[in-house]
Every structure is written in C-alpha cells, then in structure tokens.
Amino acid sequence: MSTQMATGLSKSAITENIMVGFIGAGRMAQAMAKGFISSGLVRAGNITASDNNQQCLQILQDLGANTTRKNQEVVTKSDLVVLAVKPHIVQPVLREVAPIVKSDTLFVSIAAGVTIESIESNLPAGTRVVRVMPNTPALVSAGASVLTKGTTASDTDSELVKALLSSIGICEEGSESYLDAVTGLSGSGPAYAFVAIEAMADGGVKQGLPRELALKLAAQTLLGAAKMVLETGKHPGQLKDEVCSPGGTTIEAIASLEKSGFRGALIDAVEVATLRAHALGAKK
Ligand SMILES: NC(=O)C1=CN([C@@H]2O[C@H](COP(=O)(O)OP(=O)(O)OC[C@H]3O[C@@H](n4cnc5c(N)ncnc54)[C@H](OP(=O)(O)O)[C@@H]3O)[C@@H](O)[C@H]2O)C=CC1
Ligand SMILES: O=C(O)[C@@H]1CCC=N1
C-alpha cells in the first residue's frame, strides 16, 4: 500500500487492491461502502463488514461485500478498518480487536466525539489512526467530510483516506479541535436540511400544492441554492439579495423568518450538536 502511494499513481490505482473493513455495518458504513464501490475506488469483494445485525449485513452483502459477525475477522482481512459503531461502542470494540491488530493496519474512526487519543490508547502503540467526520449524503456522492491524522499516521495515510472520501463528496483536512463543530455543522446538518425541506413542502401543501410536487420543489430549491453558493463563489447574503425584489414576495418571507429567529435557531442547533459531540467523546 505505502509503496504504491509513494509512486504517485492515480487514485484508483492507489485504492484498487486495498482491503477495506467496516466494524459496524449501519447507516454510515452502508453509505460509505456504497460510495466507495460505485466510484470504482474499492472493489466490493475487497470489503469486509462486521455487525451483530443481520439486516445491516445483508445490505452490505447485496453490494457484493463480505460480511461476518466477528470484528476480529474484519481486522485480520483489512488494510484499512473503518470504526463505524456508535461512539460508546468504540472502546469495547477496540479492546476486543487490539490483541490481533497488525502493525500495518490503518484505523479510520468516524465516531462522533471520540478522540484520537482515546482510540490510540486502546490500540497497540504506534497504530496509525485517522479520525473523520463524514455525513450521510455520501450515499449519493454528495458527502462532506473533514479528517485529522493521528499521532503516527502519515501524509500517505491521510492522502489515502482523502482519496476514498473524495469519491463520495468533498473531503477537507483540519485540526482535531474542529471535529466536534464539524459534527454539529455537516455531520448532523443533513437532518436540519431534511427538516427544512419537509417544512417548506408543508408550506406549499398549505397553500394548495400537491404533496409530491411540493416536496420535489422544496428539495430541488435547497439543492440549487447550495450549488449556487458552491459554484458562484458569491456570499450567500448577496445571493439572497438577488432573490429579494424591492417590495416583492421574498423580502416579506425573509422578514417573517427573521422575526421567527430562523438564523438564531440554526446557530443554536449547530452549537448544541457540537456540545453533544464533545460530551459523547467524554463518555468512555
Ligand atoms: N448517521 C450519521 O449521519 C453519521 C454517523 N456518524 C458516526 O458513525 C457511527 C455509526 O453511526 P450510524 O451508522 O448512524 O449507526 P448505526 O446504528 O446505523 O450503525 C452502527 C451499527 O453497529 C452495530 N454494532 C453495535 N455493536 C457492535 C459491535 N460490538 N460490533 C459490531 N457492530 C456493532 C449496530 O448494531 P445494533 O443496531 O444491533 O446495535 C449497528 O448496526 C457513529 O459513531 C456516529 O457517530 C458520523 C457521521 C454521520
Ligand atoms: O447524531 C449523531 O450522533 C451522528 C453523528 C453525526 C450525525 N449523526
């Protein structure tokens, strides 16, 4: 793996033969595995996932991946192991697999709040760890991830993880001190957007639109607005101003949103989710 990376091969060449494991085959593992496979970066047959939930394993099997109920088997078979269990399960899982961890296995944790220090301290000394906060739009190759290298992980390791995560969306590298806030913003954020889409559709239905049309318009409107922010480089405030005709419809709606505390509600949402991520990490 490392030799290939050092030669500067293409991303698919870097990841072509990599054996990827998932401990925990739930929603996030499914989204990532599906993205890795559909992007062509990882062969389905090179993925092994463990879980105690047969329904989750079946979803991975349907993608062509190998499945097992034994977490140790994932570690034995994989070059890169994604820890995709709930935060409070991470420590017991690490204690379970630590005795058989090989020195060249890279661990990638996606668990909210769980610090690199707490992961490294439960693995053999020197084990390479990368911590990531992804999100579920990875399922449709529109994910947003931020990664941080552990103390012994190399640039090659972070490039590898970045290549994988870039196949399912955008991936930035940042300080570990950012990761709880990233969790509160983009990790949990899809849920805020889903609530907004549902509520906007409700608004359309209240005004007489058929439900299906209202939902489609609400979702496409958020998608289009997000693309405009990303692709035009304009400040969202400017884009908002461009929709607001003087004395028109939009400024009425914006004034109503401001009265309802829309901005403050979103800022508070990110704050409480960030604090919760921090608290989850403090629980061992
Ligand atoms: N969902 C999201 O949007 C995001 C989640 N994350 C993080 O990803 C991680 C996984 O979240 P998510 O996919 O939503 O969770 P899920 O509950 O969907 O998946 C976790 C899976 O792990 C299984 N599991 C429980 N105990 C073990 C064990 N000892 N060994 C192996 N598997 C086990 C669970 O089975 P059972 O249900 O039977 O307990 C479940 O199927 C979390 O740490 C979360 O913080 C990060 C970013 C976004
Ligand atoms: O709700 C959670 O705890 C996880 C982490 C980010 C998104 N879902």
Ligand nearest to C-alpha 111: 1
**Average pLDDT estimate for 24-37:** 95
- Of these ranges, 14-28, 74-88, 270-284, the one predicted with the greatest mean pLDDT is 74-88
Taking CA 186 as the corner, what is the angle to CA 13 and CA 197, rounded to the nearest 5 degrees? 115
Q: How many angstroms separate the Cα of 254 from the Cα of each of 224, 238, 240, 263?
A: 18, 14, 9, 11
pLDDT of residue 17: 87
Ligand 1 mean position, distance from CA 97 (Å) = 17
**Average pLDDT estimate for 254-270:** 98
**Average pLDDT estimate for 10-37:** 87
Decide: 46 and 19 in contact? Cβ < 8 Å: yes
**Average pLDDT estimate for 121-147:** 96
Ligand nearest to C-alpha 136: 1
Q: What percent of the chain has pLDDT over 90?
A: 90
In 3D space, the residue among 145, 135, 131, 143 whose CA is nearest the CA of residue 177 turns out to be: 131
Ligand 1 mean position, distance from CA 111 (Å) = 8
Which letter does DSSP use for residue 245 in this model? -
pLDDT level of residue 133 (50, 70, 90 thresholds)? very high
| Tokens of residue 84, six digits | 């995709």
What is the atom index within ligand 2 of the atom nearest the CA of 276? 3
pLDDT of residue 281: 85
Q: Is the CB of 136 under 6 A from ligand 2?
A: no
What ipTM was reported for this prediction? Answer: 0.98
Decide: 75 and 101 in contact? Cβ < 8 Å: yes
Q: What is the pLDDT of residues 184-226, one digit of tens each?
A: 999 999 999 999 999 999 999 999 999 999 999 999 999 999 9
Question: Which domains does the chain carry?
Answer: 2-179 (3.40.50.720), 189-282 (1.10.3730.10)
DSSP string for residues in 50-81: E-S-HHHHHHHHHTT-EEES-HHHHHHH-SEE
pLDDT of residue 11: 58
CA-closest residue to ligand 1 atom 18: 26
